[in-house]
Structure 1
Amino acid sequence: MPKENVDPQTEITEERLLSILEQSGRPNFTKRRITQLISEKMLPSPRRISHPGSKSPVYVWGPESIEHAMFLYDVIERGNGRHRRFLALWLGSYEVPFEPLLHHWLHAIDTTLQSFTGGAQDPEDALWHLSTVLKQYVEPKWRFSPRPDKVIRQVGIDAWTDFNEFLFSLLAVPDYEPDEVVSEGVRATLQRLSTIAQAKADPQTSSEDPLPWLLSLREIFTLPRYRETLLHATTQEWAQAREDYLICCQLLRQLAACFPRRNALVTAEMQQTLFLNWGAILPPLLLAVRSAGHGEWIDDMLSMLSGLLDVFSDPDIQEPLSTM
């Protein structure tokens, strides 16, 4: 291996990077593979330096490139495709372009909207298309399933279909306003669902109408508005969403550790899969919630998880949990 006139502590050449990877048990990267990953922007480009007395330039990274390359190597070795590699690197706060992730999230929204509305721009046409799709393609699966869902059977096929049409309409059409007949049907279904959920618990009654709360979610999750929120979010807003997600994951991992016997069944590969699966869904949702001015919902959730961790960390509680 040619000797480079560089500082091995602060300037990492390609040869040295490959050597470090191999020594750490990661032997499958080559110079060609490194070049490909740089061109795909999954690894940062090295900087060009020169030294007195040398005619040839040297390309080096900083020492942070070692951790970056090791992390990427492990993600690739687990069989993750291109999108999940970018997602893992972004969630790990490594230097990667954000555009591929944003494009993926926007494409998912556009595909869902197209399936709901058929591309119709007029709200009435969009609602008609959504109702037609639901009744022609979805309702028959519920009605004629050889193993019908217990909850759907208890609520009733017609009521369940109307309830889902209401929810899909909220998602697809920003200005959707249910009429009184639809509103009363939704209230009745929500009450029925509440009764089913409480069947094996102590009966609880509430006079609070849940419909206004559901309608308020239009300001956050109606797909056209949701799309605009993601499209125009700042770098700082995305960084906050990532931080919220990472804090949530950390608290859940700590809570899982309070149940050592069960936690031992979850392998590192399973944890990574769960981390990326939810990482593909939750960060944009968390961003939308904060962007709509409801950051306290997220803060309260994290505070609740932290409070549970404090309870489960009590030595008197830990002893019985250790056998579970």
Structure 2
Amino acid sequence: MHLVAPPEHPFAQFVRILGKGKRGARGMSREEAREAMGMLLDDKVEDTQLGAFLMLLRHKEESAEELAGFTEALRARLQPPKIALDLDWPSYAGKKRHLPWFLLAVKALAASGVRIHMHGGGAHTAGRLYTEQLLGLLEIPLCADWQAVAATLDQRKPAFTTLGSWSPQLQRMIDLRNTLGLRSPIHSLARVLNPLGASCVLQSIFHPGYQAVHREASQLLGDTAIVIKGEGGEIEANPDASSHLYGTANGENWDEEWPALSAQRHVKPETLDPAHLLAVWRGEVQDDYGLLAIRATTALALRALGRSREQAFAEAETIWQNRHSSN
């Protein structure tokens, strides 16, 4: 009697590439990454393989080639309608130390005519304040589909979609955060995706060292992008610290250093009260740190759209002052 060994699962090769010991393991090529993500998105992978793949990739740290390949697999399956869009604004980190002042910058920019698509992956880590939790308070529309995104943008409002509404498979991988005990590389990938092909992708990295990798991934994809180490991991310029902008456009990389806007660091608030954001938006109260963060973040977005730093900061002030009259 001959015992026949079961055939190897097609996805096993990708787990083996990443996990074959210190000498045998390696990173994936762009093509391999595209194929692997394609299988993940098509639900052709076992749960045990998914967990092993994500954690091996997390331990190794994802490369620009892998991020580009993953993104290409997703874009090939999305095929969204053509929507005129200025900025892709991923929001996945949540805020812990300061309120999400970038949301007021987004609202003011949208009111001035800048077309912004935001997307996020839900509240996956306890103790952080996520954009999804503030959409109702700040009257930022939650869009269920691409048609709703287009209609919202035409109304001079920022459009927000959940990752799960257009890629439930990627959302499921993010949701494994509390099962696996670590963030997966999908948190990084989500920042690169640019699902609607916006003119520019803004990206924020929490851990230093990832900026260059993300810029290279966007460069490989042919995207225009600016990557910063944003406050709390969100796309928000910290006025108390200098910001290094990692940019890429037309296949060429550029770098720019922005000095801190405040000579002294502001005291971190004891609690994060979302109602305070609304009060600042309405002009009912002042917040020195918040207003500086809004101005710097607005300027960052305008820099992404081609303004010089000086033009961006001057225009940012005007956009904020006219935030209620632009509609």
Q: Which range, TM-score by smaller chain? A: under 0.3
Q: Which has the larger radius of gyration?
A: 1
Q: Which has the higher strand share?
A: 2
TM-score by length of 2: 0.24
Relative CO higher for 1 or 2, CA cutoff 8 Å, sep ≥ 6? Answer: 2
TM-score by length of 1: 0.24
